[in-house]
Amino acid sequence: MLAPASVSDYRLLARRKLPRMLFDYLDGGAFSEHTLAENRRAFEQWCFRQRVMTDVSRIDTSATLLGTAAAMPLVMAPMGLAGMLARRGEVQAAAAGARANIPFCLSTVGICAVEEVARDVPDANRWFQLYVLKDRGFSEELLARAWQAGFKTLVFTVDLARLGLRYRDVRNGMNGNLPLPAKVRKVLDLLGHPRWLADVAIGGKPLTFGNLASVVLSGRKPEDFKAWVESQFDPSVTWNDLDWIRQHWPGKLVIKGIMEVEDARSALKVGADAVVVSNHGGRQLDGAPASLSMLPAIAAAIGEKCQVLVDGGVQTGQDVVRALCLGASGCLIGRPWGYALAAGGQAAVENLLTNIRYETELTLSLMGKTALDQLSRSDLLSLDELQALSRA
């Protein structure tokens, strides 16, 4: 490969570089991965209306996300274990986001702590992601640390009452239960990736979950992540329990994991400034519909009251344009920047984001548009509409 041009290219490079356990963690979904695949297929169901003979010499992709200007309507989604994809991976990714002038969201279970990201990337538009945890006191401590470190937007993830069953992770021993022959193969796989070992496992600072230092959680074993999740995620929480979030978070609040209109309205009632229409990238409830399929109804119901973001399957600037036509204020991407980070660190993530912005500009121009606020549902044709036109 001479130079990566697409997310698929970065995915291939990441697959070569990462140990199988880490690649499958990044790449995989729940159960049979039906919803994971549906997230991509949903974008393929929409065709653009091509417009010609319009002055498109200047294209504006800028957007305002939660009150802050961005170069495009895109957020780098939170990703657990990102610091195991490349050395101090969250810092590299945040720096790429800052260069691209888009927000970067740090996961609770990132390898780099909020303080490290803030110190090393002071100009980043920093968002912080938190799960629903049993230990409210620890959650309050995390929120205070994030706010003190300059993270002004909180993404509260509500779709992990229990961790989804991801067959790839089971096969790779993410739960720690492997027979001896499989353990030997796992060690050999790690040794078969010397560049990763030198860059991540051995080089740099010790691998620990930086935000969770007070609970003495090692980051050297990905199965530690699963064990912590199972011990701390709270399956009993309801909307009535979320008042404490607003009591302890003075900044913008985003509720992530919304897939129904009723839940979107409930998110508004607890004070959300935005929601993310999300099935967790197909990693939770396999068999759930694609996030994009649920976007129009949710945007129609609450879009005038708060911003509606969407994730799941977003890979290109064309995907961003489709989502905006269907009512989104912006998109989150996760796996794409993870692939790029593993493939080539900050430089590769910067290149990916540059490509996405160019793809957005190019798509707008070929649709006869010069700015994002000109987009609407009428700029797309569904496959049914296209078939009806062909019969007319």
User: pLDDT tens across 364-391, in order?
Assistant: 999 999 999 999 999 999 988 888 888 8
- Average pLDDT for 147-153: 97
Confidence of residue 229 (pLDDT cuts 50, 70, 90): low
pLDDT at site 387: 86
With a CB cutoff of 8 Å and minimum separation 6, the contacts of 63 are 69, 70, 72, 73, 329, 330, 372
Is residue 328 over pLDDT 70? yes
Mean pLDDT of 105-112: 94
Distance in angstroms (rounded) separating the CA atoms of residues 116 and 88: 9
Model confidence, pTM: 0.94
Mean pLDDT across the chain: 92
220 has pLDDT over 60: no
pLDDT-above-90 percentage for the chain:
72
Of 104-108, 147-151, 226-230, 284-288, minimum mean pLDDT range? 226-230
The answer to whether 275 and 255 are in contact (CB under 8 A) is yes
- Asked if the model's pLDDT at residue 237 lies above 60, the reply is yes
C-alpha–C-alpha distance, residues 80 and 155, integer Å: 14
Distances, alpha carbon 50 to alpha carbons 146, 212, 378, 379, in Å: 45, 50, 11, 8
Residue 257 is predicted with a pLDDT of 98
Per residue in 85-97, pLDDT (tens digit) is 999 999 999 999 9
- Annotated domain spans of the chain: 7-391
Q: What pLDDT was estimated at residue 201?
A: 80
191-215 confidence digits (pLDDT tens): 889 888 888 888 767 777 788 876 6
Q: What angle do CA 32, 33, 39 make, to 5 degrees?
A: 150
Q: pLDDT higher for 296 or 224?
A: 296
What residues act catalytically?
Answer: 280
Q: Rg of the Cα trace of the chain?
A: 20
pLDDT over threshold 80, residue 123 = yes
Class of the domain covering 7-391: alpha beta
| pLDDT at 232 exceeding the cut of 90 | no
